[in-house]
Amino acid sequence: MKQLALDVKALKDKLAVCTRCGMCQANCPLFAQTHQEADVSRGKLVLIQGLIDQMFDDPKGVNLRLQRCLLCGSCAHGCPSSVNTIEIFLKARAIITQYLGMPFSKKMIFKKLLCHPETFNDIMGMVAPFQKLFFKKEQNSQGTSCARIASPLLRHRHIVPLKATAFNKTLKNSDYQGKGNGIKVAFFVGCLIDKAFPNIAHSVIDVLEHFNARVFIPSNQGCCGIPALASGDGQTFETLVKTNVSLFSKEKFDYLVTACATCSSTIINLWPSLLKNGDKKLLGQVEDLAQKTVDISWLLEKRFDLSLGMSKEGGSKEVITYHDPCHLKKSLGVFNEPRQVILASGNELKEMKESDTCCGMGGSFNFDHYDLSSQIGLKKAKNIMDTKCSIVATSCPACMMQISDMLAKQRQPIQVKHPVEIYAKALKANSK
C-alpha cells in the first residue's frame, strides 16, 4: 500500500486544483441517476487523494469506483477550476491496475489482439460470419441483431453486428493512395468504423475525393488505444500509439482526419498528455500528429465549399436531428460543423432537447453497468423520438451503437447515421 500511495502521489498537484465546490454534480449524467457522491468526479478525486494519504487499504474498491464512470468529460467541461478529471482518472486507473494486475481475459485481448492489428483484423474477419449462429437479425431501421438465447453477457442488447468485410480488408494489406491533387489528408479509421460501420469510411473517401483531396490511408492501422487505457493498461496504449505513429510517419500530409469523436479526442488530448514524460522523439511525433488531427465535419466545413455539387432545387427532405458526442463538443468544441454538413445535404435539421447530454455508452461502462447505461440512453432516445425525425445523426460510432440499441428497444423506425454518410448520399443523388 505504501508503494501504491507513493505512485499515486504523482497526481497530487493535479488533484490539488479541485476546490471541492461540487459543481460537477450538476453536469455528471451518472450522478443524475444515482445521486451517489462516489459516482461524481469530486467523490472520485477524494478517493484518489485517500489512497495517497493511506486512508484506506482497498485499492480494488477504489478502482471499481473509478471504473464506474462514462469518461464523458462533462465534469471537466463545466469545472470552474479546469480540473483535468479525465487525465487524472485514466492515470489513476493505470497506476492502480499496475499495482493490482490485470485480469487474464483482458490481458489476452489487449496484449495479444489489440497490439497486433493484422491478427486482430484476421480474427474478427473469421468471427464475423459465425455471428448469425448466435444473433438473429431484427427487421428494424437500425440494422441491429439480438442474442438468440438469453445471455448474461449480452443481456437484452440490440447490437450492431460486425460486417462480413471490414474496411481494412478492402485495402488488401496495401496503403490507399487517392488520385486527387488538392490538400493531402490522412485518414485514421478507428476500430468501430473499420469493423461495424465501414460505410462511414467509404463515405469519408467519397466526399474527400469529391473535393479533390489526396487521401492517404495506411493499411493495418491500430486502435487509438482508449479501450486499453480506460482499463488501466498503459503499456498497450503506448504500444498502439507507437504503431500508429510509425504508420502515419510514412507520408507527409496536411490533416489527419477521423470520423470518430472518441478517436479524435484521444489523439488530440490523450496521446500527448499520457506520453509527456516518455521518449522525447515519440512525443514530438505525437504532438505533430495531434496538431494535424481534425474531425471530418470540421474539415469539410472549414476547408471546402459544401454547396459544390449540390443542386439548389429541394427534393424530398428527411427530418434529421443531431446528437453531440461528448468527445466532440465538450472535449474539442466541435458542434456547429456537423450541423452545417447536414444542412448542406439539403435535409431539414430539427434540434432535440439536451442534444449535448451523454448517451450513456462510455465504452466498457456499457458492458459493466448495462442497466445504468440504458437508463441514461433511454432519456436520449426519448429526446430523439420527440423531434419526430426520420434520422438521428451523430459523429461517433460508439454513440451510434448505443442510440441504435435504445431506439431498437423502443421499436422506432428512426435510422442512425453519421453526418458524412448523409452528405455522401446527397452528393451521389445530385450527381445522377
For ligand SF4, the binding residues (CB under 6 A) are 18-24, 27-30, 40-42, 69-75, 79, 81, 83, 85
Closest separation in Å from C-beta 219 to ligand SF4: 34
- Judged by beta carbon, residue 83 or residue 186, the one nearer ligand SF4 is 83
Angle at the Cα of 5 from the Cα atoms of 3 and 10, rounded to 5 degrees: 105
- Residue 338: all three cell numbers together: 456537423
- Judged by beta carbon, residue 21 or residue 100, the one nearer ligand SF4 is 21
Count H helices and E strands in the chain, helices first: 25, 12
- Judged by beta carbon, residue 70 or residue 257, the one nearer ligand SF4 is 70
Distances 192 to 98, 124, 198, 214, 233 between C-alpha atoms, Å:
27, 12, 8, 24, 20
Burial of 359 per CB tally in 10 Å (0-12, 13-18, 19+): buried
Closest separation in Å from C-beta 47 to ligand SF4: 12
Closest separation in Å from C-beta 307 to ligand SF4: 38
16 CB-side CA count, 13 A? 5
- Judged by beta carbon, residue 81 or residue 431, the one nearer ligand SF4 is 81
Cα separation, 144 vs 159, whole angstroms: 5
Closest separation in Å from C-beta 356 to ligand SF4: 12
- Judged by beta carbon, residue 70 or residue 201, the one nearer ligand SF4 is 70
Q: For 91-107, b where at least 16 C-beta lie within 10 A, e where not — what string?
A: bbbbbbbebeebeeebe
- Judged by beta carbon, residue 376 or residue 389, the one nearer ligand SF4 is 376
- Residue 120: all three cell numbers together: 486482430
Identity of the residue numbered 61: G
- Judged by beta carbon, residue 158 or residue 323, the one nearer ligand SF4 is 323
Beta pairing class for 293-295 and 255-258: parallel
Beta pairing class for 135-137 and 145-147: antiparallel
- Residue 276: all three cell numbers together: 509527456
Closest separation in Å from C-beta 85 to ligand SF4: 6
Asked if 396 and 331 count as a contact pair (C-beta separation under 8 A), the reply is no
Asked if 3 and 99 count as a contact pair (C-beta separation under 8 A), the reply is yes
Beta pairing class for 145-147 and 158-159: antiparallel
Closest separation in Å from C-beta 155 to ligand SF4: 21
Closest separation in Å from C-beta 290 to ligand SF4: 21
- Judged by beta carbon, residue 84 or residue 131, the one nearer ligand SF4 is 84
Closest separation in Å from C-beta 80 to ligand SF4: 6
- Judged by beta carbon, residue 20 or residue 148, the one nearer ligand SF4 is 20
262 phi, psi to nearest 5 deg: -70, -40
Residues in Cβ contact with 86 at an 8 Å cutoff, skipping those fewer than 6 apart: 71, 73, 76, 269, 270
Closest separation in Å from C-beta 89 to ligand SF4: 7
Cα separation, 35 vs 25, whole angstroms: 8
Closest separation in Å from C-beta 24 to ligand SF4: 3
- Judged by beta carbon, residue 29 or residue 178, the one nearer ligand SF4 is 29
